[in-house]
């Protein structure tokens, strides 16, 4: 059987950084489309090609031959299944449970709720003139900080988020650490030392260096 044809649709610096890192970690052949924020603003959002593949109009999208996979935890699962020896979802069944516990929290609470309010305050209140945005943003900032505090406490004494090795959780945590620095503007190093230790270890990986270069970010 020939290897599946894999194509990643990503937005530079977005949550799609995580599956991009994991494709490298897994050593898979893939092609990619990397959108740039400025182009999306100019063109009124994602192009039709992306919206046809994913009617939710979000990245990441992973096309695998004729199948389309959306949602980070599902995409991480697919990538991990292609390279089981890399243990990207943990080394034991119980570590995999812990990985999913993290992924659900990061995807639902930190990304969906806290950063959802932060990036798109207008989606949270039915007042479209922007007059309430500052209130939503203030709550978003609190929610982001509460979440980072929880994450930092959970990472106390740990080299990696789950078990004794790098997993998909570390790649995902790295995305939100970068957002904490900018655009959230938090002093991540001072406030969250455990989280910083792990983000720095992730940043040292060849996979991450390749992704930053490919996406034109630093
Ligand atoms: N639950 C989705 C969230 C994906 C998501 O929100 N992606 C952002 C980029 S980080 C996006 O494309 N947002 C566009 C929008 O919300 O309009 C996942 O985990 O994959």
| Ligand 1 pocket residue status of 175, Cβ below 6 Å | no
| Contact criterion met (CB below 8 Å) for 137 and 144 | no
State whether the beta carbon of 54 lies less than 6 angstroms from ligand 1. no
First and final CA of the chain: distance in angstroms? 38
Contact 9, 16 (CB under 8 A): yes
- What pLDDT tens digit does each residue of the chain (218 aa) get? 789 999 999 999 999 999 999 999 999 999 999 999 999 999 999 999 999 999 999 999 999 999 999 999 999 999 999 999 999 999 999 999 999 999 999 999 999 999 999 999 999 999 989 999 999 999 999 999 999 999 999 999 999 999 999 999 999 999 999 999 999 999 999 999 999 999 999 999 999 999 999 999 98
Q: Is the CB of 57 under 6 A from ligand 1?
A: yes
Q: What pLDDT sits at residue 82?
A: 98
For the chain, which residues make up each domain, given as ranges?
Answer: 6-87+209-215, 93-205
Q: Which two tokens stand for residue 142?
A: 């609190």
- Cβ of 99 closer than 6 Å to ligand 1, yes or no, is no
Q: What is the CATH number of domain 93-205?
A: 1.20.1050.10
Helix (H, G, I), strand (E, B) or coil at 32: strand
SS (H, E, C) 152-185: HHHCCCCCCCCCCCCCHHHHHHHHHHHHHHCCCC
Q: Is 191 in the pocket of ligand 1 (CB under 6 A)?
A: no
Tokens of 118: 């932060």
Give one DSSP letter per residue of 88-153, joined into a string: TT-SSHHHHHHHHHHHHIIIIIIIIIIIHHHH-GGGSSS-TTSTTHHHHHHHHHHHHHHHHHHHHH
How close is the Cα of 72 to the center of ligand 1, in Å? 9
Nearest CA to ligand 1 atom 20: 71
Domain 6-87+209-215 classification at class level: alpha beta
pLDDT on residue 1: 75
The number of the ligand 1 atom at minimal distance from the alpha carbon of 120 is 16
């Amino acid at each position: 059987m020939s290897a599946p044809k894999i194509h990643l649709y990503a937005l530079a610096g977005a949550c799609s950084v995580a599956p991009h890192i994991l494709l490298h970690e897994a050593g898979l052949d893939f092609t990619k489309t990397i959108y740039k924020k400025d182009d999306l603003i100019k063109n009124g959002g994602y192009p039709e090609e992306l919206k046809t593949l994913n009617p939710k109009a979000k990245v990441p999208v992973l096309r695998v031959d004729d199948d389309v996979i959306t949602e980070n935890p599902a995409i991480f699962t697919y990538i991990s299944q292609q390279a089981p020896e890399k243990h990207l979802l943990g080394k034991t069944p119980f570590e995999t449970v812990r990985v999913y516990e993290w992924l659900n929290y990061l995807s639902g609470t930190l990304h969906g709720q806290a950063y959802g309010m932060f990036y798109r305050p207008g989606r949270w209140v039915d007042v479209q003139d922007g007059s309430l945005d500052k209130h939503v943003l203030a709550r978003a900032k609190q929610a982001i900080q509460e979440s980072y505090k929880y994450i930092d406490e959970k990472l106390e004494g740990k080299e990696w988020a789950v078990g004794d090795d790098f997993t998909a959780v570390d790649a995902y945590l790295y995305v939100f650490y970068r957002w904490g620095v900018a655009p959230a503007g938090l002093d991540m190093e001072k406030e969250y030392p455990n989280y910083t230790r792990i983000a720095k270890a992730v940043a040292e990986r060849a996979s991450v260096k390749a992704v930053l270069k490919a996406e034109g970010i630093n």
